[in-house]
């Protein structure tokens, strides 16, 4: 018999100009929403050209898992883009660095360091709780005088200090000029790198304003100066015997690679330049701050929209923790509704709705489709998390989805749920992020009820797409809960 070698390509969008017109017809749609809508016409997996790059968009969990897990190594590449090259000195970091021996080595060291100073370490809980305390005292001062606050800078400082302690073994006070400076350049990077993906990934925005590129370069150089300063301080005080933080761990890995001449390790040490270490720390810092802060902001937004969810979390806290002490990590098991709320937040407003693009490292396939080496793959997590076949009424905020039928334990009701990605490129900070979200939210809700100031509209639930999906800015009233106020009086 004759074997036919058939090459099946995914359904292809017409040439670029049409996408441009599609977008101008529906200019309200953000990329993740547009990609979800295009399924109606082209199916769950389709391809399109962006400039000279062939791109596949995946909207269903079966193909998503084939890319991330089953063929994880084949699809572990990252594309190079104009702005991520500026941010990471041509991919010398983990998140935007292409798959290579150096990348693997870096990821391994950082993973081990995060285990040592993060998940597996009691002191990170202390650090988070100290920041929660300081955050709550700011809220308390505002509550006392009935002042409505934009919580964003306060949440950012709290989260930044946790990462500072992890990376640099240091922290910032309110109003510290170095911290204010950091707030500024970070926002500049988020605003412009966000558009970055748009340069290379979304061709209709290819006309990249030069002003943005200038701003990005300026902000990156401010960031690099700060990282360099911290790095130099660490080099001076370095000792092989004490590892205080992530920089020490990276320095130690570098030294031991340099002192070790076995061929395998010295080959790897090629990748341990100072620039690599700096860019890796920049990644952990940036990822650690922007993601967790964003989720906290979404949490507050949704809690304000859903006072009944807030009340139920508070009831759960009152029953299990009470008001004579603060929540701690060991309470996590007895606060399933709070955990379910965090899961629902990560579903309904995924931090990275399109993940970071993946790249096929060799000729391969996806389902029945042929995929050529170098093809970029966008996993539309937004489509997975809003798939009507998997989630009843996907735009409804309902933490109950993640509870079992008795409401006593947690479940994941659908395989179409990947807030941290999966496989070789899975998020490195998942455990840390979950600890922070749990502690910050439980501390806040034990003490306060959050509402919009009287006469204000509820904040918008529509996110702004970028390198992270950001909620709008708005002011919040924190009211001290009656029980907590009584408790405070007794304590005084
Ligand atoms: C990558 C989600 C917090 C460090 C990612 C990816 C997602 C994600 C979706 C991309 C996976 C892919 O491209 O396939 C989240 C969410 C967070 C969070 C939802 C908070 C709730 C953090 C934190 C850190 C971190 C706190 C650092 C301490 C990283 C790094 C990568 C990454 C380094 C790149 C991994 C790689 O490319 O190999 N994260 N993240 N993330 N995340 Fe997170
Ligand atoms: C955030 C701004 C920082 O100044 C630099 C930075 C580094 C790593 C990025 C992060 C930014 C945004 C969120 C990213 C993270 C790596 C993984 C994470 C993209 C740009 C996610 C959610 O995928």
Ligand 1 interacting residues, C-beta cut-off 6 A: 94-95, 107, 283-284, 287-288, 291-292, 295, 346, 351-352, 355-356, 419-421, 425, 427-429, 432-433
- 487 against 309, higher pLDDT: 309
CA–CA distance from 303 to each of 114, 158, 296, 391, 483 (Å)? 30, 19, 10, 21, 20
User: 380, 57 in Cβ contact below 8 A?
Assistant: yes
| Percentage of the residues of the chain whose pLDDT score is greater than 70 | 88
Please tell me the distance from the alpha carbon of residue 403 to that of residue 400, in angstroms, as a whole number: 5
391-440: pLDDT as tens digits: 999 999 999 999 999 888 999 999 999 999 999 999 999 999 999 999 99
Q: What is the pLDDT of residue 122?
A: 72
- 2 against 323, higher pLDDT: 323
The encoded tokens of residue 416 equal 């179409």
Residue 487, pLDDT above cutoff 70: no
Lowest mean pLDDT among 251-265, 292-306, 362-376, 420-434: 251-265
The strand pair at 369-371 and 364-366 is best described as antiparallel
- 266 against 416, higher pLDDT: 416
pLDDT band at 6 (very low <50, low <70, confident <90, very high): low
Which residue CA neighbors atom 19 of ligand 2 most closely? Answer: 467
Residues 6+ apart with CB under 8 A from 67: 58, 75, 358, 366, 377, 379
- How far does the chain reach from its first CA to its final CA, in angstroms? 90
Q: What is the pLDDT of residue 148?
A: 95
Which residue CA neighbors atom 6 of ligand 2 most closely? Answer: 286
CA–CA distance from 345 to each of 140, 153, 294, 395 (Å)? 25, 20, 11, 11
Which ligand is nearest to the Cα of residue 280, counting in written order?
A: 1
Residues 6+ apart with CB under 8 A from 44: 58, 59, 60, 63
Q: Is 17 exposed, middle or buried (0-12, 13-18, 19+ CB in 10 A)?
A: exposed
Residue 151, pLDDT above cutoff 50: yes
Highest mean pLDDT among 4-13, 112-121, 161-170, 450-459: 450-459
Q: What is the mean pLDDT of residues 9-22?
A: 66
Residue 260, pLDDT above cutoff 50: yes
| Model pTM score | 0.94
Lowest mean pLDDT among 82-86, 89-93, 179-183, 253-257: 253-257
ipTM: 0.99
Q: What is the mean pLDDT of residues 212-228?
A: 93
Q: What is the pLDDT of residue 14?
A: 75
Residue 189, pLDDT above cutoff 70: yes
- Average per-residue pLDDT for the chain: 88
Q: Which atom of ligand 1 is nearest the CA belonging to 436?
A: 26
pLDDT band at 155 (very low <50, low <70, confident <90, very high): very high
Q: Which atom of ligand 1 is nearest the CA belonging to 114?
A: 28
Q: What is the pLDDT of residue 209?
A: 62
Lowest mean pLDDT among 6-20, 86-100, 437-451, 471-485: 6-20
Residue 103, pLDDT above cutoff 90: yes
Q: What is the mean pLDDT of residues 301-319?
A: 98
């Amino acid at each position: 018999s004759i074997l036919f070698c058939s090459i099946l390509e995914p359904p292809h969008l017409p040439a670029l100009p049409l996408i441009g017109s599609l977008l101008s017809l529906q200019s309200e749609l953000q990329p993740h929403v547009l990609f979800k809508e295009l399924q109606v016409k082209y199916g769950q997996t389709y391809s399109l050209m962006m400039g000279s790059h062939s791109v596949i968009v995946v909207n269903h969990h079966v193909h998503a898992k084939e890319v991330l897990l089953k063929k994880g190594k084949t699809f572990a590449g990252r594309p190079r883009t104009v702005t991520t090259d500026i941010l990471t000195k041509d991919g010398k970091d983990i998140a935007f660095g292409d798959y290579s021996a150096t990348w693997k080595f870096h990821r391994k060291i950082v993973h081990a360091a995060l285990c040592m100073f993060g998940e597996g370490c009691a002191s990170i809980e202390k650090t988070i709780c100290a920041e929660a305390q300081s955050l709550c005292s700011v809220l308390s001062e505002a509550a006392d005088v009935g002042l409505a606050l934009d919580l964003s800078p306060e949440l950012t400082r709290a989260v930044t200090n946790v990462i500072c302690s992890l990376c640099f073994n240091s922290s910032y006070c309110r109003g510290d000029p170095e911290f204010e400076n950091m707030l500024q350049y970070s926002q500049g990077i988020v605003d412009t790198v966000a558009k970055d993906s748009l340069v290379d990934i979304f061709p209709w925005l290819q006309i990249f304003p030069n002003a943005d590129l200038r701003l990005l370069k300026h902000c990156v150089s401010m960031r690099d100066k700060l990282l360099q300063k911290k790095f130099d301080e660490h080099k001076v005080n370095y000792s092989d015997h004490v590892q205080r933080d992530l920089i020490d761990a990276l320095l130690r890995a570098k030294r031991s690679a340099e002192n070790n001449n076995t061929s395998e390790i010295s080959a790897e040490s090629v990748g341990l330049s100072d620039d690599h270490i700096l860019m890796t720390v920049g990644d952990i810092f940036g990822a650690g701050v922007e993601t967790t802060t964003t989720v906290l902001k979404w949490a507050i937004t949704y809690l304000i929209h859903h006072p009944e969810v807030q009340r139920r979390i508070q009831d759960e806290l009152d029953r299990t923790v009470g008001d004579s002490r603060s929540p701690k990590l060991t309470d996590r098991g007895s606060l399933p509704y709070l955990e379910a709320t965090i899961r629902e937040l990560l579903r309904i407003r995924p931090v990275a709705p399109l993940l970071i693009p993946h790249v096929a490292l060799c000729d391969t396939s996806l389902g029945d489709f042929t995929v050529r080496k170098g093809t970029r793959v966008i996993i539309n997590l937004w489509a997975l998390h809003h798939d009507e076949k998997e989630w009843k009424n996907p735009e409804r905020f309902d933490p109950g989805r993640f509870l079992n039928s008795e409401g006593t334990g947690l479940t994941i009701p659908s395989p179409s749920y990947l807030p941290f990605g999966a496989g070789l490129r899975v998020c490195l900070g998942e455990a840390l992020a979950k600890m922070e979200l749990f502690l910050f939210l439980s501390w806040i809700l034990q003490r306060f009820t959050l509402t919009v100031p009287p006469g204000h509209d509820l904040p918008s639930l529509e996110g702004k797409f970028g390198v992270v999906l950001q909620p709008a800015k708005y002011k919040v009233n924190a009211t001290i809960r009656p029980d907590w106020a009584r408790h405070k009086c007794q304590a005084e």
